[in-house]
Amino acid sequence: MTEKEHLIVGTAGHIDHGKSSLVKALTGIDPDTLPEEKERGLTIELGFVFMDVPEYEKQIVFIDVPGHEKFVRTMVAGASSIDVVLFIIAADEGISVQTREHFDILQLLRVKEGIIALTKSDLVDADQLEKLGGEVGAFVQGTFLEGAPVIPVSSLTGSGLAEIKAALMAAGRCVCRREDCGYFRLPVDRVFVMHGFGTVIAGTVLSGGIKTGDRIEILPERIETKVRGVQVHKEKRDASGLGKRTALNLHDVDKTLLRRGQCAVAPGLITPATRLDARLHLLNSTRSAGETSSTSPRRGTNGSTPRRSPASAVSRARRKRPSSSFSGKRRTNRGPRRRPPSPYGPD
């Protein structure tokens, strides 16, 4: 049996706007699994849920992200590998702070496909929905979501769920197959210990393939190890490849050495460095707020800080510790309000 290509669907949107509830209503599975998430009624960690649709040619995988502004770094890590965004706006609250911020991030990450869900539609009347539809249309004008379906939905009553599912599948058909440079790269977005198996890392394969017995290197620390086992969709496989949500059981690596933001690669492929040359793109909203671009980096995302860069098209960041990156990798910077860029260039 040939395995289906994975379609990675990421949620995005303001806190409490109903992202996790919608994933649960669509799949029957709650993406919030931590006791603390259940207790506090909010998402803290990324949630991963597979939606099986036998008649669909792709395997849909949801990545549910937190909406709380404190967890934006986690949201970026989740959004970094998505094909389609399920962009959530609560009908009773409308466009809010993290609606805007998540949308900025999606644009910076160059997400190309998506649909817009007006959640909690049971809490408003038809006139309010129509008004919000107009506001949302203006908000996404000129962006990748211009013309995307805007669908009222209620996770409580189930109204609109079938339309959301159909629109996601249609958006998934517009996603082109990712380009494969051939060498293995897997940005780590989950680390856990499986009873009886040991340490496991998981993520979406960015390029190349991997099979049981292969040697890999975890960057930037250059931890060398061997793959003891490969899982795709929670099932044991001999191998996995491009675009697949994949879990790798590692040989003899302590979990405390691993974290989200690292990258598993074929050994010797990438040499970590302390300098990073990048092209900067400042958002209009950032520019008008008078921020510089030198803020905390949120690349995939491991939290080291570059030196201040000018608000220009090209920057060179120096890091205290070596980090790993590669050509074409996109990252986002965000931080506290700073003084405006100096007209004399960097200091």
Ligand X SMILES: Nc1nc2c(ncn2[C@@H]2O[C@H](COP(=O)(O)OP(=O)(O)OP(=O)(O)O)[C@@H](O)[C@H]2O)c(=O)[nH]1
Is the distance from CB of 102 to CB of 82 less than 8 angstroms?
no
Is the distance from CB of 181 to CB of 207 less than 8 angstroms?
yes
Nearest to 316 by CA among 282, 280, 346, 275: 275
Q: Rule CB under 6 A: is residue 225 a binding residue for ligand X?
A: no
Q: Which two structure tokens, joined as six digits, stand for 138?
A: 């203006």
Residue 280 binds which entry of ligand X, Mg ion, none, with Cβ cut-offs from 5 to 8 Å by kind? none
Residue 258 three-state SS: coil
- Beta carbons within 10 angstroms of residue 173's beta carbon: 11
Residue 123 binds which entry of Mg ion, ligand X, none, with Cβ cut-offs from 5 to 8 Å by kind? ligand X
What is the smallest separation between the CB atom of 339 and Mg ion, expressed in angstroms?
35
What is the smallest separation between the CB atom of 19 and Mg ion, expressed in angstroms?
5
Q: CA-to-CA distance for 312 and 200, rounded, in angstroms? A: 40
Q: Which is nearer to Mg ion, 21 or 231 (CB)?
A: 21
Q: Which is nearer to ligand X, 86 or 248 (CB)?
A: 86
Choice from 29, 42, 129, 161 touching ligand X (CB under 6 A):
42
Residue 6 binds which entry of ligand X, Mg ion, none, with Cβ cut-offs from 5 to 8 Å by kind? none
What is the smallest separation between the CB atom of 32 and Mg ion, expressed in angstroms?
6
Residue 293 binds which entry of ligand X, Mg ion, none, with Cβ cut-offs from 5 to 8 Å by kind? none
Choice from 10, 67, 261, 297 touching ligand X (CB under 6 A):
67
Q: Which is nearer to ligand X, 119 or 304 (CB)?
A: 119
Choice from 123, 162, 193, 194 touching ligand X (CB under 6 A):
123
Q: Nearest residue to ligand X, using CB?
A: 67
Q: Which is nearer to ligand X, 13 or 203 (CB)?
A: 13
Q: Rule CB under 6 A: is residue 79 a binding residue for ligand X?
A: no
Nearest to 90 by CA among 38, 136, 55: 136
Report the DSSP beta bridge partners of residue 279: 314
| Torsional sign, CA 94, 96, 100, 105 | negative
Please tell me the count of residues contacting ligand X according to CB under 6 A.
20
Q: Which is nearer to Mg ion, 21 or 240 (CB)?
A: 21
Provide the total of helices (H) and of strands (E) in the chain, helices listed first.
7, 20
What is the smallest separation between the CB atom of 68 and ligand X, expressed in angstroms?
6
Q: CA-to-CA distance for 222 and 271, rounded, in angstroms? A: 9
Choice from 7, 43, 216, 262 touching ligand X (CB under 6 A):
43
Q: CA-to-CA distance for 278 and 273, rounded, in angstroms? A: 13
Is the distance from CB of 121 to CB of 129 less than 8 angstroms?
yes
What is the smallest separation between the CB atom of 34 and ligand X, expressed in angstroms?
12
Q: Rule CB under 6 A: is residue 155 a binding residue for ligand X?
A: yes
**What are the residues binding Mg ion (CB under 5 A)?**
19-20, 43
Segment lying near ligand X (by CB under 6 A), choices 108-116, 154-162, 205-213, 255-263: 154-162
Residues between 1 and 40 with contacts to ligand X, criterion CB under 6 A: 15-21
Nearest to 305 by CA among 316, 318, 314: 318
Q: CA-to-CA distance for 232 and 11, rounded, in angstroms? A: 21
Choice from 4, 68, 259, 319 touching ligand X (CB under 6 A):
68
Ranges of beta strands (E only) in the chain are 5-13, 47-51, 58-64, 84-90, 113-119, 150-152, 185-187, 190-194, 198-204, 209-211, 215-219, 223-232, 235-237, 239-241, 245-250, 263-265, 273-279, 296-298, 314-323, 332-334
Q: Which is nearer to ligand X, 153 or 253 (CB)?
A: 153
Tell me which residues touch ligand X (CB under 6 A): 15-21, 41-43, 66-68, 119-120, 122-123, 154-156
